[in-house]
Structure 1
Amino acid sequence: MTILNDLRTTTRRSSDLSKHSADVFAEAEDHTVQITRRDGEPLVLMSQREADARAALLQFAADLITVTLDEEGTLASRMADRFPWMLALSDTDQATCARDLVDAARASFATGQPHLAIAELTSWRETATAIAAGLSARPAEWLDHDELIERP
């Protein structure tokens, strides 16, 4: 069993791939398909999207392991060194982000669902990018419909 075990894997014979390739390819777009062979080790067929998600999760795991092996500073400060976009967040948000990312990674590994960690990482990175661009949580000041605005 691998860390990135897919909960929805279908097993097909190699003859199915040659006789019913359209059906097998349609399955592989939805979930991983294991192709068994009489004369060799089974092969795995998956979408590029799934392969990319697994690669991204492994890279994220490598980053988290690197962060946890360092003993200097807080988890949030060590993660900000590895993910510089976190520096756009407040200290409180950095700590929350660090915890959320670790929790999402654990959930991804436990369930075999890479999108959980990748979505959390993307969400926090986009939040930091928006803050760096000057966007904030302050409510917008709306004008009344009948209020006239003079030209500058």
Structure 2
Amino acid sequence: MYRGEADERARLLNFAAQLITVPLDDSGTLAERMSKTFPWMLALSPADRESCARDLVEAARASSSTDQRHLAIEELTSWKETATAVAAGLGRSDLEWLDDAERVERP
């Protein structure tokens, strides 16, 4: 096994270990329980937390049933990076598009 494969496997096992703890707490919705295990989810809107929770569980199931570790890791990374961007304030302001954008040559 290559180093990258071992690292990916370790990340998946860590994610699975965290995910397994979610059903132990029987209070609240799935998203609320997962937010306790993955506190970065709190940066997301309530609707996005629900989507995130559902997507992470589905990705974990697909990953384990197809032996494709990258499915769960990519979904986890994608949602975590989205939460990080939201927490940093990205996406809060309206974009100002330039109508008279000047075209430049490719380098």
Out of 45, 48, 54, the position equivalent to 1:93 is 48
Higher Cα radius of gyration: 1
Structure 1 unpaired stretches of 5+: 1-45, 147-152
Name which structure has the greater RCO, CA cutoff 8 Å, separation 6+.
Answer: 2
In the alignment, the residues of structure 1 paired with residue 3 and residue 92 of structure 2 have an alpha-carbon distance, to the nearest angstrom, of: 37
Q: Describe the superposition over 1:35-55 as per-residue Cα deviations: whole angstroms up to 9, x where unpaired.
A: xxxxxxxxxxx1111011111
Out of 69, 74, 98, the position equivalent to 1:119 is 74
Q: Could you tell me which residue of structure 1 aligns to residue 62 of structure 2? A: 107
Deviation at 1:57, TM superposition (A): 0.7
In the alignment, the residues of structure 2 paired with residue 103 and residue 138 of structure 1 have an alpha-carbon distance, to the nearest angstrom, of: 32
Please report the RMSD computed on the Cα atoms of aligned residues, expressed in angstroms: 1.6
Q: 1:74 aligned to 2:29?
A: yes
Q: 1:59 aligned to 2:59?
A: no
Give the structure with the larger helix fraction.
2
Deviant stretches of 4+, over 6 Å: none
Aligned residues: 101
TM-score normalised by L of structure 1: 0.63
Give the structure with the larger strand fraction.
1
Q: Could you tell me which residue of structure 2 aligns to residue 29 of structure 1? A: none
In the alignment, the residues of structure 1 paired with residue 14 and residue 45 of structure 2 have an alpha-carbon distance, to the nearest angstrom, of: 25
Deviation at 1:74, TM superposition (A): 0.9
TM-score normalised by L of structure 2: 0.88
Counting aligned pairs with the same residue, the percent is 66
Q: Could you tell me which residue of structure 1 aligns to residue 2 of structure 2? A: 47
Q: Could you tell me which residue of structure 2 aligns to residue 130 of structure 1? A: 85
